[in-house]
Chain A
């Protein structure tokens, strides 16, 4: 969603030939959540900024719109005084000891804009973290290149396990992963369908979010302001900033325009595979391979990996699911006078913590098992949607398979046809290069109007922004937008939108799939 420009002159200054670029780069050295501590503003040191946001990956193509690498930024800063070198006495590391080990996982925020007279008017272009810094020295000039990743960095290395979630939507699954990963700023569309069973088993949280989004045909990414975003498949025809033009790109401020069609983005049919699961009767999910020895005063934790995933796992019952004794032999009471067992169950494994509260005898826990109701997988099924426009010669099929969160025919029935509509027409992809437009975000609608740059009829169309690359150096701010024309992405442009469209027995707006 485009950023607000109210109260600024950015709408005009961005297009002025000699607009003066306003830059701000701040680093939250002490990770306290603000950008106002001493030396956190490193703008005077900035030599260049390169930022990349994208929904479209050239290699993956249109089928995987929104399933791309995280946004990144590369910021070259002057370091002649070695102030940013962590081993320099009196440098940043001596002021902020938290960075003494190196420039890693430090929040960073980039704002760019233009001056209106003497007033700097900036909008945020990137929020993320420094992933690393590479120092170099050339002819006595020291620089550090800060490599930054958007806030997905918090999820990229975070592996987690969860209980089985029954009937959750994609946005609910994503929200859970975000919160667990420490991402507190997010804006998530409501998912289109409920997913019968979902769980994580030591899986990457970022990948889980992408899978959940893809199960809905949607997109998961981080915005310029660092917010995690989930956009469902129909978002481009629902959201206001995707429906109305947010910027007009005309010949007066264009540096370069390319227009291409990629064969990899065209398919004559789409296949979507789903595989359901059902809950089976109670069974032993796990049995301990041997007796477990618990020394006095100690807690022993067993990691139990189930034979099947399970939505319901019963805490082991003393005397039924396990026995406990000492070598005396003597029975061990349950409770703080003997043995306690604490079970934390996830979808595919559990952690069983057994504590020996005694001070003398070792406790032996035998025949330990976990019982539960396993989830058994159905055979995979699939459905095919053939092209209806008849524009693609030959047979070329895109198969959406292997997403474990696509579990019902309903899910497939919504994702498949929309995907088919997007892929069955050769889609033009434009790249527009010109001065930076501060407020434009991914998925915004822009108008490309270039009647004089090319032979008639030229280009005059509306398109979604699916990629933003920008670079500031030498006082200029250049930006390249990757644009997907809005016409042809969906079968119709007048779909029935709840709360916007009107009920009518005939002549209403059109139903989606």
Chain B
């Protein structure tokens, strides 16, 4: 059962309408509003262009897994090359790769569409399936692809557009449209939240290069900023020597071989700062307000990269556990209604307050000001960063040692059960990990949060 999701009322002709029933509708709308605005981790994207094999065969550009929360696959893949072919495949329950898209072309391109997975063989709802994107070219010049988004979108089922209430005789069917559409929106969320993969450790020594160690992608929500952080350790020999960490935003507009880039944050750190960690990694953090994100459009995908740079030879820097997520902002978009709770005995059961619930529902629906825009990204493992949002962590252990780190500098360490999986772990068992706190999972091929334990 979802935490905080209310039991929505059953409204029957002739029955007394209760304040708690109507307030449950408020709770439902407010829950969905919060879920739509929650701090959501970016998800994996290709760090750069990936080149096709030299022999004209298909080569893997991107791979990952995701639970099948719906039958719609969304992809956003950039391609370039004189001639190229791209295909998207999944692994069915028998282990065979099935192709859902195969496309050829030439020159610069962007493959961006949804694919209906209905009726595809060997797909099981709720099951974690493997996916991959491959690119090929008939020899030189090579083809290239960069996957920005590969995600499963849950369906919106059972949706009923809320009616417009007017003064006059009440009706159960009109009122019942409200809980029905709320339940539909809740189902649309898919009952899962992804984690964000990142490196478990990468060391750089070359000077004057921007070493990109992370690239994630996120769907921008109006008014939301970004939180970015990384753990660093470095060998910086002289007191004056330093290294720089930076965060950049890429807009989905090609600029030469790459994309339009906006610098969001840079931070220089020196040996004394590193020494303050007592030999341990220190965590660098940046909160980037929405105002610092220029020209972003709600609903559009943007990538965020993080890099480090050394300016003095002989030094080295190691980075690990990068994470970037949207920052939750409680301020609703224009048009979000005020939902004032009803009280027992109220005599204001009228269009104004009932239509406010309908307005909230419409805002949360597709195309609304608070569009939930749910999806489950397909991505791989590494250091998986998450924010405790749902009760269960579903994960596939690599071996016996799976670790969940939490607390300041993620030095708290909780040993999750290892072995064969997939396994489900109730995150509520870690008292130091209240809802809304960040954590990092290592030792898992993949992981995601879920409302319910994994059913297989």
Interface residues of A (CB under 8 A from B): 169, 189-194, 196, 232, 234, 237-239, 276, 278-282, 312, 373, 408, 410-411, 413-414, 417, 491-492, 495-513
Contact = CB atoms under 8 A, between A and B. Distances in A.
B348 interface: yes
Contacts of B14: 238-239, 497-500
Interface string B154-173: 00000000000111111110
Interface in B1-59: 1, 6-20, 22, 24
Given A194-B7, A512-B17, A282 B424 contact: yes
Interface stretch (B61-69, B82-90, B264-272, B339-347): B339-347
Contact of A498 (B17, B425, B453): B17
B350 interface: yes
Contacts of B424: 281-282
B345 A190 contact: no
Contacts of B452: 279
- What are the 8 A-B residue pairs with the smallest beta carbon separation, nearest first? A505-B350, A281-B424, A512-B18, A499-B13, A512-B16, A508-B349, A234-B16, A281-B453
A511 B17 contact: yes
A243 B175 CA distance: 24
A324 B22 CA distance: 57
Given A190-B15, A414-B20, A498-B14, A509 B349 contact: yes
Contacts of A408: 7
Contacts of B22: 511
A414 B172 CA distance: 19
A491 B453 contact: no
24 contacts: A191-B10, A192-B18, A193-B9, A193-B10, A196-B1, A238-B15, A278-B1, A279-B1, A281-B453, A282-B455, A417-B344, A495-B16, A496-B17, A496-B349, A497-B14, A498-B12, A499-B13, A499-B14, A501-B349, A503-B165, A504-B348, A504-B349, A509-B347, A509-B349
Contacts of B346: 510-511
B17 A503 contact: no
A410 B351 contact: no
Contacts of B12: 189-190, 498
B353 interface: yes
B426 interface: yes
Contacts of B6: 410
B391 interface: yes
B425 to A, nearest CB: 7
A509 B19 CA distance: 12
Contacts of A169: 10
Given A193-B9, A278-B391, A280-B453, A500 B347 contact: no
B427 to A, nearest CB: 12
A191 B16 CA distance: 12
B441 interface: no
Contacts of A281: 392, 423-426, 453-454
Interface string B392-409: 100000000000000000
Given A234-B16, A410-B7, A508-B348, A280 B426 contact: yes
Nearest to A413: B20
A505 B24 contact: no
A506 B6 CA distance: 27
Contacts of A491: 344-345
Contacts of A411: 7
Interface string B341-374: 0111111111111100000000000000000000
A280 B19 CA distance: 33
B16 A505 contact: no
Nearest to A417: B344
A140 B170 CA distance: 68
Contacts of B353: 505
A390 B16 CA distance: 25
A278 B349 CA distance: 35
B10 A190 contact: yes
Contacts of A193: 7, 9-10
A193 B12 CA distance: 11
A373 B17 contact: no
A511 B18 contact: yes
A502 B167 CA distance: 7
Contacts of B10: 169, 190-194
A512 B455 contact: no
A128 B351 CA distance: 49
A106 to B, nearest CB: 38
Contacts of A312: 455
B13 A505 contact: no
A190 B455 CA distance: 32
Given A496-B170, A503-B170, 7 more contacts: A194-B10, A234-B15, A276-B1, A498-B172, A505-B353, A511-B342, A513-B344
Contacts of A278: 1, 391
Contacts of B454: 281-282
Contact of B344 (A190, A502, A512): A512
Name the residue among A238, A413, A497, A511 with the largest chain B CB count within 10 angstroms: A511
B16 A497 contact: yes
B176 to A, nearest CB: 9
Name the residue among B19, B24, B342, B352 with the largest chain A CB count within 10 angstroms: B19
Contacts of B19: 511-513
A297 B272 CA distance: 81
Contacts of A373: 453, 455
B15 A505 contact: no
A508 B352 CA distance: 12
Nearest to B452: A279
Contacts of A194: 7-8, 10
A503 B350 contact: yes
A499 to B, nearest CB: 4
B1 A508 contact: no
Given A281-B424, A410-B7, A498-B171, A503 B349 contact: yes
Nearest to B169: A502
Contacts of B425: 281
Contacts of B7: 193-194, 196, 408, 410-411
A506 B350 contact: yes
Contacts of A503: 165-170, 349-351, 354
A504 B350 contact: yes
Contacts of A189: 12
A478 to B, nearest CB: 35
Nearest to A277: B1
Contact of B345 (A276, A279, A282, A511): A511
Contacts of A417: 344
Name the residue among B14, B16, B351, B452 with the largest chain A CB count within 10 angstroms: B16
Nearest to A237: B16
Interface in B169-188: 169-172, 175
